[in-house]
Amino acid sequence: GDYQGIQFIKRLRVLEDTVKQKAEIAAYFTRFDEAEQLYRDIDRKDLALDLRIKLGDWFRVLHIAQSGVGGQDILQQAFNEIGNYYADRTRWGPAAQNFAKAGNVTALINAYYLNEDFAGLKALIPELPPESPLLITIGNHFTAVGQCEEAVSAFIRYGDTKAAVDACVLLNNWDVAVQLAEQHEFPQIEGLLSKYAKHLLGKNKKLEACQLFRRAERHAEAAKLLVEVAEGQMPG
């Protein structure tokens, strides 16, 4: 404690301005609002800003930075730290607002998802560059909540047809899966069509399954099913 006190007195002696000395003393005795006001009185908002940054008081940092002190980097840092403050308290709405202002897209995606703000999440898809792996994160989030169209939109923007098709299959959206596979010349399309046909057979939709086997060029299975369908329609 004595050592700190001695160092503090040495630092005070260097300061020629008495107001600065008073501000340093106020801060030393944890009277931070008083210290900030003293810095403001001598038009040294930069020192007030430094004080608040050292204290990690990001709400005050933001307040001072918004008056034109400290530059864009400090503003972004303040928004990000305030976003973290709200995220730590699971207040995802205000967390998302601050992460958006900070330009922290990774944290923003997480906050939107946990706040169930799917409109916000969807709006990010066209804004992200096609090479951004965050599109995969968004696609996985939409798959997890059963929103197939949005998941497909994110995966396709990233150029991952397989992930889009897998999401459709997982969510039993077979028509879209087949459509995507055909549109994007998906190499495993025959296997996909056969899986879909088996899915239809499980629901006793033999004619639809037969058409899929034909599209998959599995003619033997298609013919066998046609016979079954014809026999089923013959009068007993």
Which residue type is seen at 131?
A: E
Nearest 10 degrees: Cα torsion 149, 151, 152, 157: 130
Res 213: pLDDT = 74
* Cβ-based neighbours of 18, under 8 Å, separated by 6 or more: none
Cα distance between residue 207 and residue 230, in whole Å: 10
Res 158: pLDDT = 97
Q: Which DSSP symbol is given to 188?
A: T
* pTM summary value: 0.75
- Are the beta carbons of 89 and 99 closer than 8 angstroms? no
For 213, counting Cβ atoms within 10 Å of its Cβ (0-12 exposed, 13-18 middle, 19+ buried), the class is buried
Res 62: pLDDT = 96
- Are the beta carbons of 98 and 82 closer than 8 angstroms? yes
Residue 199 burial (CB count, 10 A): 16
> Which tokens belong to 125?
């898809």
Which residue type is seen at 1?
A: G
Res 17: pLDDT = 65
Q: For residue 86, how many C-alpha atoms fall within 13 Å in the half-sphere facing its CB?
A: 22
Cα distance between residue 193 and residue 198, in whole Å: 9
- Are the beta carbons of 25 and 12 closer than 8 angstroms? yes
- Are the beta carbons of 23 and 39 closer than 8 angstroms? yes
Mean pLDDT, consecutive 10-residue stretches, the chain (236 aa), reads 65 64 68 79 84 90 90 95 98 98 98 98 98 98 97 96 92 87 80 78 78 73 75 60
Res 104: pLDDT = 98
Angle at 73 between CA 98 and CA 127, to 5 degrees: 55
Sign of CA dihedral 101, 105, 107, 111: positive
